[in-house]
Structures are given as structure tokens and as C-alpha cells.
Amino acid sequence: MTSAVPLRTTTATADAPHRTDTAAVHAGRRDLRQLGVHVPPLEMSTTNPLPCVERGGASYEALAGGGLPPGDGSHVYQRLWNPTTARFEEAVAELEGCAQAVAFSSGMAAITACLLAARSCGKGHVVGVRPLYGGTDHVLASGLLGTEVSWARPERVAEALRPDTGLVIVETPGNPTLELVDIAAVADRCGDVPLLVDNTFATPVLQRPAEHGATLVVHSATKYLGGHGDVLAGVVATDEEWATRLRPVRALTGGVLHPLAGYLLHRGVQTLPLRVRHQSASARRLATWLTGHPAVERVYYPGLPQCDPAGLVGRQMSGPGAVVAFTVRGGGAAAAATADACELITHAVSLGGVDTLIQHPASLTHRPVTPDARPDAAVLRLSVGLEDPADLCEDLDRALRAAGRA
């Protein structure tokens, strides 16, 4: 699929970032020739030798305060900083067009760190724009972290702000029904309040929220960044000030990413553009096919004109992505039967891997969401993988027809 919006418009130089496809391959690896290796080393040490008490103490103070390791010091301890994880962070920061990135043990650990960092500055109020991932929605609605949430539509964000508002949180495309939010418009309504955008569905291949005014760009790196369903992780791309605030939260709460996970994620990023574009092309075919299926009542996909009335695909996003949602005729029972009847497509939560997954959001990822905001029971979410889309259509057709007969 050809990108409608070029993600890089400048020619790369030694001092300028490369275009997306090049950055995915080389970011976080540019010192390898100097090191005399072709792939990054995997640094597994939990503790590191100290050059002396004075420099060791200075290193600890710098890292515990959210800074980076001093050149003549030590990494001290893996909970504070790890060079393998840092390579992955550098890659994500470059791909998102941000100054720095901070990796975490899961996407929810990343969201939690952002909320705690805001609250520690006396900003315990959050404005949330639904739909959000069920875990994010749940942690906001529960008040578990001592935050208070006001829910608002994108156009009403400014009215929901208070003096103690620390964050505005949006997800676009939204989980699970792929609603799009105009990031620049919301950022303008935020004023001085930082805007956090969950960019998990789009990835930096298709959308870079920082270019549209977002302060914090969050990923469940478990999904597309890892891409193979074998790593649990989260990451926040942001400016230097916020990164410095997030690192101490990570260290103190223990939400650190294991270096092996950082290594696998850094490797996964190399193929991210290829995977996302191929999966998006297949998703477009499936979405178009589903719109004509007699057992499907409605299809949610940003590549369909009716799902993108503001024309954000081509302006904010360079493509519609690889997640499709649809409503099955017959309600929740028919939707559940369809998911159960799939054979090639795996019935499982999560998304963004090389194989296609189907799940029932109302029963699973969005089960903790309050009933008034929970997805309709007839909705299924499909994460399209790298299989031939004709095979996926055949499997879905069998499942939909079997559910209809049942």
C-alpha cells in the first residue's frame, strides 16, 4: 500500500533523522560498526561494576533522578538503566520524532507511569476521551492510582479542563471500534495541559502524534512494535523533560523492561514498516469484503469513507491500519459463535502480530468498562496478520455462516 502522506520530507544527513523505513532498520544501531559487530549486543547484567565510590555515587544520583548514564560512570543497576533497552528506546524516539523514549514492562505500566508522574506534580485530574483500551479506561474509572477522571468528547475537552488537570488522554484509532480523533484539534483545546495519545493501533509508520501536538505518545509495544506475540512491553515517546520525570517512576515502581524483551523489540522494529503496510493492505480488503457479507450489519474501519468523515486518513494518518471491527447480525450470541467457529484465525486477545486474531471486546478487553461505555455485544475485533486475505475471508465466511445456522 502506498503511503498517502510522506512521513519524512527532508533528505537525511549525518545530523538529520532518516526516513521511516531506514530508521526502523538502523536506529539504535549506528555504533555497531565502531563496536565491530553486525547485531546489537545483549547486555544482561543486573548490576554493574563501579569505577570508584565517588563516580559510582554520581552515576546513581544521575540515573535515579531520571537522567542518562554519565560518560565516565557506571550503569549501576538494571532497574535504573540498561543499554540494550536504551537501544530500543532510541529507535522508538526516532520513529516517533521525539527527543527521547522510556520503555516499561507493559503498556499498562507505561500508562501508570504517566499518570503517577502527573499526579506527583499535584495534577491528579485527567480528561479521558473514549473509546480507550479497556485497561486504560478501567484504571482511570477506578481511581486506583489516586487520579480523578472526567470523560469528554473530543470537541468538549476544553470545557472539561480544571486547574489540577495533568493529562488529556486519547487513543486514535480508538479501541475497539476504530474511531478517529483529530489530534491537532484536541491539542489546541488542551492549552498548556499535556496531551497523551495512545498510538498502538497506528504505529509511527502510519501516524506520528507528536507532529500534531501530542506531548506523550504511548504504545503497548506488545503489539506491532514486537510484532510476533512473544514480548510484553510498553513505551512512551516524549520530550526530555517528561522522559526525565518518567524514569524515576519506572525505577521506583519496578516497571522496568527486561533486556531480552528490549532486544526482541528492537529486532521487531526492523520489520515494522513492512508488516504494517502489508497488514493494512489486507485489512482494507477484508473490510471491503465484510461490508457486503449478509451476516455483517456494520463494519468499522478508517479506510472506509463513512468511518473517516473528517478525512484524517491522508492528512493525519498515512494509512488506515490493520485492525477491523464489525457488528454481527444476531447480536452477542452470534458474535460469540463466530469467534468460536474460526479455524485459521486465532480466537485470542491482543493484536499486531504476524497471525490474524479475533476477539469479543465486550467480554474480554473491555469487560471492566462501565456498561454505558462498553462496546456492543455484537462487535468483534479483528487484528489482520500476514496471511493471504483470501484465506482469511474464507475462514470468516465459514464462521459467520456456521454462527448463522447455530
Report in angstroms the alpha-carbon separations of 87 from 21, 124, 180.
17, 32, 31
Q: Report the Cα–Cα distance between both ends of the chain, in Å, rounded.
A: 38
Whether 263 is a known active-site residue: answer: no
Per the annotation, the verdict on 133 as an active-site residue is yes
Active site residue 130: no
Q: Which residues, in sequence order, are CB contacts of 267 under 8 Å at separation 6+?
A: none
Q: b or e along 289-314 (b: 16 or more beta carbons within 10 Å of the residue's beta carbon)?
A: bbeebebbbbbbbbbbeebbeeebbe
Q: Are 340 and 295 spatial neighbours (Cβ–Cβ below 8 Å)?
A: no
> By the 8 A CB rule, do 339 and 359 touch?
yes
The total number of residues written for the chain in this structure: 406
DSSP state of 155: G
Q: Which of 29, 77, 123, 133 is catalytic?
A: 133
60 is catalytic: no
- Catalytic residue selected from 137, 198, 308, 395: 198
The sign of the torsion formed by the CA atoms of 340, 342, 343, 347 equals negative
* Host H or E run for residue 92: helix 83-96
Nearest one of 251, 239, 320 to 280, comparing CA atoms: 320
Q: Which of 8, 79, 298, 329 is catalytic?
A: 79
Strand (E) or helix (H) holding 216: strand 216-219
The rounded distance, in Å, linking the Cα atoms of 340 and 238 is 40
**What does DSSP say about strands 346-347 and 296-300: parallel, antiparallel, or unpaired?**
unpaired
CB proximity list for 191: less than 8 A, separation 6 or greater: 158, 161
Catalytic residue among 123, 223, 277, 374: 223
Do the beta carbons of residue 381 and residue 320 sit within 8 Å?
no
Residue by residue, DSSP assigns 306-373 as GG-TT--BTTTBSS--SEEEEEETTHHHHHHHHHHH-SSSEE-S---SSS-EEE-TTTTTTTTS-TTT
User: Which residues 6+ apart lie within 8 Å of 48 measured at CB?
Assistant: 74, 75, 76, 77
Residues annotated catalytic, as ranges:
79, 133, 198, 223
